[in-house]
Amino acid sequence: MSGRPNPHAAPLPEPSTVPENGWHCGHFFYRFRREAMAAPLSSECVSQFAAALAPSGDAAPERLASYWISGHGADFGIMVMDPDPAKVDAVHQSLVAPPLGQFVEAVWSFVSISEVSEYVPTIERFRDRLIAEGADPDSDELKAKVGAYERRLPMMNEQRLRPEFPEWPAACFYPMNKSRVPGANWFTEPFSSRNAMMAEHAQSGIAFAGKVSQLITVGVGLDDWEWMVTLWARNPDYLKDIVYKMRFDVASAKYAEFGPFYVGYRAAADEILDHCKVR
């Protein structure tokens, strides 16, 4: 591919690290380096920990949440979103800067960008689907449903691009790919087929409305997996239930490849330090 601009194309935007639509998103998971801790963290390290999870002023990203993580893989994790990738990464850098970095090791992370997926129906596609499902094209009912969708869509897309994080106590985080093996190649399926499978998949999620909230961010070209899934839940039981249910959707059963799962519980800096018995 050449880097030559096409003279007939629209003028190119200025070089920038800020995406046109979505936000940068960082998931970071850490363990305390117990092997180096003859004693609890010093008060200097405790202060650095608290400050890193509560950046202020220009350093404050648009979104930041922290969790203690269950199991040996990680002790805690954070999720950060902002238009500026340096601001997202800076929260991580604040946690591992000297001297606290001697005792905090990042064990996994995922770099992604939020977006409105190509499978989110446009208003026209939404209308076509209802008609395909039997709705009368001229009915008031159809008009009403389409109108409601039209009013809801901007808010739903805002939640996809610049989400509010729920205050629910449990969350799980995992990356995924769509498989490309012979016999189960998502990327050689036509759009119509992929779109139908994603619609079925979305139905599985709707059954958990109010119990689980989901965010999908994109790692394609940015990290080792194609997508990152964030699930926030009212109860950890629902995490198990929704992921199990969805595993039978064709989009998952046949095509999904999963990376590591981290399950966490919402916790502030001091709650993390107390749970981990390091102060």
- In the region spanning residues 33 to 72, those forming contacts with its own copies, defined by CB under 8 A, are 33-40, 68, 70-72
Stretch (H or E) spanning 68: strand 63-69
Residue 222 sits at φ, ψ, to 5 deg, of -120, -30
Residue 1 CB, shortest distance to its own copies, in Å, is: 3
In whole angstroms, how close is the CB of 61 to its own copies at the nearest point? 13
Between strands 170-178 and 262-266, the pairing is antiparallel
198 binds its own copies per the rule CB under 8 A: no
Q: Compute how many residues bind its own copies; rule: CB under 8 A.
A: 120
CB contact at 8 A, 33 and 104: yes
Stretch that binds its own copies, among 56-64, 85-93, 125-133, 140-148 (CB under 8 A): 85-93
**To which H or E segment does residue 38 belong?**
none
Contacts of 137 (CB under 8 A, 6+ apart): 131
Which tokens hold the place of 106?
A: 């990042």
CB-count exposure of residue 43 (10 Å: 0-12, 13-18, 19+)? exposed
The DSSP code for 88 is: H
Q: Smallest gap, in angstroms, from Cβ of residue 68 to its own copies?
A: 8
Residue 90 C-beta: closest distance to its own copies, Å: 7
CB 138 → its own copies: shortest distance, Å?
27
Residue (136 or 235) nearer to its own copies, CB: 235
Find the binder of its own copies among 122, 156, 158, 193 (CB under 8 A): 156
Binding letters toward its own copies, positions 216-245, x by CB under 8 A: --xxxxxxx-x----xx-xxxx-xxxxxx-
Within 94-123, which residues bind its own copies (CB under 8 A)? 94, 96-99, 101-102, 104-111, 113, 115
Hey, what are 199's tokens? 């619609």
